[in-house]
Amino acid sequence: MKEEKDNKTIDAQPTAEVIEIPSRQGGAEAGAEAASQAAGTQAADSQKTAPQPESMLDKIKQQANEDDDTSVGVQTLRQILGGDILSAQMVRSQIWLLLLIVLFIVVGVAFRYQCQQDTITISQLEDKLVDAKYRALSASSKLTEQCRESRVLDALKANQNDELKISKQPPYIINVEHE
């Protein structure tokens, strides 16, 4: 009797079958055939067992979605060069990293621009400094030329100045003691 009860409980438990879901390469027709086979086996199973709230076909439809772009396996070079690597999910998951990289690029460009502007300003100021040095040198040489004794005497003779004359006596050195 006990064995009969065990057999009944075993028979009453639902059995699960493994359903193979075709890949995208098989196309929609192969997926439809697998889904219909799954529905047919489930219909037969549901007659044997208690009714289930959700059919296996509905579960498969929920799990496999045609719009799902999750990549399975390795990315090929064609996919990388084609831009598939920049899918919306990847961009969303790495948005802060991308923003940080963009910020570093902007800051780097701004610093380079500022450095170039400073270099241009420095070179302009150096040119002005060289010009100022040349002007000061030429003014100093003109002043030295005008202050020579022969030039002063020529200028006095040209003005016919009688008050200023060259001394005929040598200069005297006067020593003064400080108290």
Residue pLDDT, tens place only, 21-59: 655 544 445 455 555 555 555 555 545 555 555 777 777
Angstrom distance (rounded) from CA 52 to CA 46? 7
Q: Which of the four pLDDT bands, split at 50, 70 and 90, describes residue 9? A: very low
Q: Where are the domains of the chain?
A: 12-68, 96-159
How high is the pLDDT of residue 92? 81
Higher pLDDT, 108 or 13: 108
Within 10 angstroms of residue 94's Cβ, the number of other Cβ atoms is 13
Q: How far is CA 31 from the centre of its chain?
A: 44
CB atoms within 10 A of CB 124: 10
Amino acid letter at 8? Answer: K
In three-state form (DSSP H/G/I as H, E/B as E, the rest C), the secondary structure along the chain is CHHHHHHHHHHHCCCCCCCCCCCHHHHHHHHHHHHHHHHHHHHHHHHHCCCCCCCHHHHHHHHCCCCCCCCCCCCCHHHHHHCHHHCHHHHHHCHHHHHHHHHHHHHHHHHHHHHHHHHHHHHHHHHHHHHHHHHHHHHHHHHHHHCCHHHHHHHHHHHCCCCCCCCCCCCCCCCCCCC
Mean pLDDT in residue range 117-141: 97
User: For residue 90, what pLDDT is reported?
Assistant: 77
What integer is the mean pLDDT of 126-137?
Answer: 97
pLDDT at res. 123: 97
Asked if the model's pLDDT at residue 77 lies above 60, the reply is: yes
The encoded tokens of residue 101 equal 């990289």
Q: Average pLDDT for residues 67-92, to the nearest whole number?
A: 72
pLDDT at 19: 62
- pLDDT tens sequence across 135-179: 999 999 999 988 888 888 888 888 877 777 777 888 888 888 887
Q: CB–CB of 21/56 below 8 Å?
A: no
pTM score: 0.39
